[in-house]
Amino acid sequence: MSNNKTWHERHKEASGFGSRLADSVANGMGSWRFIILQTVFVIIWMGLNLVGYAYHWDAYPFILLNLLFSTQAAYAAPIIMMSQNRQSERDRVQAQSDYQTNVDAKLEIEALAIRLDKIETEKLDKIIKMLEEMESNSAK
């Protein structure tokens, strides 16, 4: 059954929990949805802290917000790099699969060319034999 699976399916099955999690995080953080949600969060955070006269939990210049972003970046960067490394590995696996497919196709084409040459040679031999027979019959 595994022979019928594509390289992508085999690669996905071989991925562990951490790999799948890193890919999910990278996909999420690399989306417009994440950018928009984060932008809305920042605007609300800053707005509440600028407008809130009674209590500013993170007054200008928003040091706590900067700390949150630094922490997010500290975790996001290696997770995204893990996902990119796996993407490179997937690309190598796909390239190897494509190469093997090309090699197999080349061998099949070469075998077909040899077979066609053999058929062509057999046809020519039959034609020559028929012409020789016709020639010998007409000479009699």
Question: pLDDT tens digits, residue range 70-85?
Answer: 999 999 999 999 989 8
**pLDDT tens-digit profile of 30-67?**
899 999 999 999 999 998 888 876 677 888 789 999 99
**Residue whose tokens read 């994440």:** 34
Assess if residue 125 is contained within a domain. no
Assess if residue 13 is contained within a domain. yes
* pLDDT, position 41: 95
Domains contained in the chain, number: 1
Assess if residue 66 is contained within a domain. yes
* pLDDT, position 57: 83
Collect all residues with Cβ–Cβ distance below 8 Å to 11 and sequence separation of at least 6: 89, 90, 93
What's the rounded Cα separation, in Å, for the pair 82 and 18? 10
Which domain does 93 fall in, by range?
A: 2-100
What's the rounded Cα separation, in Å, for the pair 96 and 12? 16
Find out whether 56 and 49 touch, Cβ atoms under 8 Å.
yes
What's the rounded Cα separation, in Å, for the pair 33 and 23? 16
At 2, the pLDDT band (50, 70, 90 cuts) reads very low
